């Protein structure tokens, strides 16, 4: 059987880390694409020189030519720019929308059968735009945010409860970042929901609320520490888990930004919800009953996504 092929669009911090992880895990041959000449080639050369030490046989190639992504099974998109001081939200949207247009057209022309995972921010708007520009089926284009947000939430919960991370599961919905909706009733330590752990005196509502706030601001906390650039190890690790779920037909239940058609009362928008990922891409959307508070928070999150799409449509008339 031929090796799988993983194309990474954007060879920056996350793209390079994705390439490293994909090669270490031998997920398939890796193609690292960027518009900047030399960077994907240099990173690919460096990564190929890991192979003798790590013993992986997959190839890693750097390129500036979309033709090289032909036949990719999975494409992970991190292309774009981060918001810089003085740049308005609409400036950023304008720049990254243009990038999504180029990437969407490149994918449509060269790898229309791929499963596409978008990471570029603002995530919920960019994944929607990427789907529109590429014209791929909705179930083959997803946004990576929920795995990262729930991973951050789980890491903080494990620290709070002083238990192994292996025994913590956490559940988040909604948009990426400030408006994400952690659902503590479905967040557990070995199946024991967080509200029960609070009742047992193992934590307090105040401490859990502080953890939720820290999770929402998880990306910003890292930006403030790094000063230049944003998080990349956990975002890359999260997207690789999604790629593996697809490539291995694992049917994993993971939170992802997906196209909703009425679920959770949301129509024709990309919003973060739990889904089953397998060989068909997004194979099921998992709907759970929400408390009034979670429903209210999800509505706020959905409104924020809608606002972004209005701004996108104003910038690029072809999306309207």
Nearest-approach distance from CB 240 to ligand APR, in angstroms? 14
Residue nearest to ligand APR (CB): 12
Burial of 105 (0-12, 13-18, 19+ CB in 10 A): middle
Sorted by sequence, the CB contacts under 8 Å of residue 106 that are 6+ apart come out as 9, 66, 69
Query: In degrees to the nearest 10, what's the CA dihedral of 227, 230, 233, 238?
Result: 160
Joined together, the tokens standing for residue 273 give: 């919800």
Known catalytic residue at 176: yes
Of the listed 20, 138, 176, 259, which one is catalytic?
Answer: 176
Which of 99, 239, 242, 275 forms a contact with ligand APR (CB under 6 A)? 99
Chain-centre distance for alpha carbon 320: 25
Tokens 């238990």, residue located: 163
Does position 15 bind ligand APR by CB under 6 A? yes
Residues in 69-88 at the binding interface with ligand APR, rule: CB under 6 A: 78-80, 82
Q: CA 122 to CA 11: how far, in whole Å?
A: 18
Which of 9, 58, 116, 189 forms a contact with ligand APR (CB under 6 A)? 9
Does position 223 bind ligand APR by CB under 6 A? no
Which of 4, 7, 12, 62 forms a contact with ligand APR (CB under 6 A)? 12
Tokens 């032909």, residue located: 70
Q: Which is nearer to ligand APR, 62 or 235 (CB)?
A: 235
Which of 38, 112, 229, 262 forms a contact with ligand APR (CB under 6 A)? 229
Joined together, the tokens standing for residue 145 give: 């945010």
Binding annotation for substrate: 83, 89, 121, 152
Nearest-approach distance from CB 280 to ligand APR, in angstroms? 26
Closest CA to 189 of 206, 174, 208: 208
For strand 115-118 and strand 74-77, is the pairing parallel, antiparallel, or unpaired? parallel
Active site (catalytic) residues: 176
- What does the binding site for ligand APR look like in residue numbers (CB under 6 A)? 9-15, 34-36, 39, 78-80, 82, 99, 102-103, 119-121, 229-230, 232, 235
């Amino acid at each position: 059987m031929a090796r799988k092929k993983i194309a990474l669009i954007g060879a920056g911090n996350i793209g390079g880390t994705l390439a490293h992880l994909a090669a270490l895990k031998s997920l398939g041959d890796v193609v690292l694409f960027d518009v900047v000449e030399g960077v994907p080639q240099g990173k690919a050369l460096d990564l190929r020189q890991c192979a003798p030490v790590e013993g992986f046989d997959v190839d890693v190639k750097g390129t500036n030519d979309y033709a090289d992504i032909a036949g990719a099974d999975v494409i992970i998109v991190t292309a774009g720019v981060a918001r810089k001081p003085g740049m308005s939200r609409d400036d950023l949207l304008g720049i990254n929308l243009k990038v999504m247009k180029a990437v969407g057209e490149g994918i449509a022309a060269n790898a229309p059968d791929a499963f596409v995972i978008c990471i570029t921010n603002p995530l919920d708007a960019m994944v929607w735009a990427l789907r529109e520009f590429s014209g791929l089926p909705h179930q083959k284009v997803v946004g990576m945010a929920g795995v990262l947000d729930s991973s951050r939430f789980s890491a903080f919960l494990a620290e709070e409860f002083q238990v192994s991370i292996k025994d913590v599961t956490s559940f988040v919905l909604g948009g990426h970042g400030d408006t994400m909706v952690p659902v503590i009733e479905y967040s557990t330590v070995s199946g024991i929901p967080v509200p029960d752990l609070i009742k047992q005196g193992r934590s307090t509502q105040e401490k859990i609320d502080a953890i939720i706030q820290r999770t929402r601001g998880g990306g910003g906390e890292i930006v403030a520490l790094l000063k230049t650039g944003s998080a990349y190890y956990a975002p890359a690790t999260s997207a690789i888990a999604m790629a593996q779920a697809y490539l291995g037909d694992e049917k994993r239940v993971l939170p992802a930004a997906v196209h909703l058609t009425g679920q959770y009362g949301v129509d024709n928008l990309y919003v973060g919800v739990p889904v089953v990922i397998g060989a068909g891409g997004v194979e099921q959307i998992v709907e759970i009953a929400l408390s009034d508070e979670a429903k209210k928070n999800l509505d706020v999150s959905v409104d924020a996504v809608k606002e972004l799409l209005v701004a996108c449509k104003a910038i690029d008339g072809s999306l309207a």
